[in-house]
Amino acid sequence: MSLRTIIAACLFAGFVSASQQIFGAPEANTAANFIPIGTLDVLSEHSFTALTHPEFPAYGVRIKKTNFCDEGVGAYTGYIDIQARHLFFYFFESRGDPDTDDVVFWTNGGPGCSSGVGLFMELGPCGVIDADNGTVHHPESWNSNANVFFVDQPIGVGFSYADYGEYVSTTEEAAQDIAAFVAIFFAHFAKFQGRGFHMSGESYGGRYIPVFAAAVYDQNTRLVQAGIPPINLTSVMIGNGMTDVPSMFPAWYEIQCTPASLPPVQDIRTCVEMKAKVPRCTKWVKESCQDQFDLINCNAAADFCHKSFLYPFAATGINPYDLSKPCVGDNLCYTEIEEMVKYLNRKDVQALLGVEVPTYASCSDPVGLDFGVTLDVMKGATDYVSALLERDIRVLIYVGTYDWICNWLGNEAWTLALEWSGQAEFSSQPLTEWAVDGKRAGRTRHAKGFTFATVDAAGHMVPFDKPKESLEMVNRWISGRPL
């Protein structure tokens, strides 16, 4: 297992910024002459329909009906066009009641990993077991009771592409593209307006999603001023997220050297050596990345911490996303992802989806490197989480207990330390069990719209390992019921 394999789906990020977002100055009554498409029923299976809005002159959306994956519901694919940049997306209507059910946005992490992984391996309406035989029905899909987006973002990920090498290199930049897309889509399809909108993701989504949700929330002021119905942002859901890296560093040591999840996977000598480095790592990161962000010193601190805790783990050959399994294959340690990649590289599948790039990869190294240059991940997203909570946006942090890379110890640590008006009440709550069909599914604590939950014996990709528990968790969350 190479270091690149481990880093690919959850570690540090970086970048050098290149593309500029252009919204155009708000004008009075820009929505007055806007004519929406109105209904998904008018979309063609053979060509894209263009969606635009005068409030977002630099943006457009192309969408087509795509009869695949779950033929019992409406399925659509398309591109979000930002001048010379093009983000690919899938949209599936709910198996329940698409005319009343909430809407869920999903992105995978990386940075640089395709949401096709989430769609075809985790929570989508179909999966790929054998690329030659196509897809199989997934009964525990999250679209069982919700309308769901899957977006390949940022630019350069999955089927997304740029005309002339443009790229996005910060989460804040990427957020503007997502917020504009959401506004245009909801403006055109009135039946979704006012629905509960839930933004979700895993892994590096722990950095993405709070920033994306904040952009959607803040944009609502502009929408109202322009006469456009605001987006009913209701909640955020983050699975095994890398939301606060400083909390994860000491947890990397603890999860591999104590029985916090499974018996220790490291020998005693290695654990003793790692433990001695924890104080230096945490002190250096606090001084150079948190108290005052210094790119050069923060990079040096992060490099020291990675080498201290990540390198020894990589040498074990254990799957960094599931401590109970060895790393197998060359694609994030899962042969299932290899089959998905083969399927999405079939020319007949690409023609069906309407994609405009010849080759699909589950993760993009160049995107990861672009984000890595500026240490985007070290900036974290905890301040965004607290700001969302203060504005009554509910937040769910769920974590599979067998994950190493974005483990439950690190995620619990930052949720307890989060500064917000409900901190005292939240941190005083003990972990209690939550159950599905009378059987323990994990442990949880919650207060004032903030919930932390573990999922027993699940790895990094909770919906893949525990589909039944995952769907029950999401259904309870969307409906406002406690776990």
Kind and range of the H or E element at 172? Answer: helix 171-188
Q: Which residues of 360-392 are buried (b: 16+ CB within 10 A; e: fewer)?
A: bbbbbeebbbbbbebbbbbbbbbbbbbbbbeee
Q: Which two tokens stand for residue 369?
A: 């490197």
Per the CB < 8 A criterion, the answer to whether 205 and 108 are in contact is yes
Q: Which residue has tokens 């059910």? A: 101
Which of these is catalytic: 169, 376, 460, 465? 460
- Closest C-alpha among 71, 21, 70, 81 to residue 48: 81
Between CA 212 and CA 384 the distance in angstroms is 9
Q: Give the other-Cβ count within 10 Å of 169's Cβ.
A: 25
- For the chain, the distance separating the N- and C-terminal CA atoms, rounded to the nearest angstrom, is 36
Residues with Cβ within 8 Å of residue 384, at least 6 apart in sequence: 210, 211, 213, 214
Measured CA to CA in angstroms, residue 135 lies from 119, 349, 438 at distances of 11, 11, 32
Ramachandran assignment for 47, one of left (phi > 0), alpha (psi -120 to 50 degrees), beta (any other): beta
Which of these is catalytic: 115, 144, 203, 288? 203
Between CA 173 and CA 175 the distance in angstroms is 5
306 is catalytic: no
Between CA 205 and CA 202 the distance in angstroms is 5
Between CA 205 and CA 216 the distance in angstroms is 15
203 is catalytic: yes
Rg, C-alpha atoms of the chain: 21
Residue 465 three-state SS: helix
Q: Which two tokens stand for residue 299?
A: 């990079």
479 is catalytic: no
Residue 412 three-state SS: helix
Residue 31 three-state SS: coil
Between CA 477 and CA 483 the distance in angstroms is 7
Q: Is the link from the previous residue into 98 a cis peptide, with omega within 30 of 0?
A: no
Which of these is catalytic: 403, 456, 465, 470? 403
Q: Which two tokens stand for residue 103?
A: 């809407």
- At 2, the amino acid letter reads S
- Closest C-alpha among 262, 211, 204, 220 to residue 460: 204
- Closest C-alpha among 392, 385, 394 to residue 479: 394
Q: Which two tokens stand for residue 343?
A: 């399927």
Could you give the residue numbers annotated as active site?
203, 403, 460
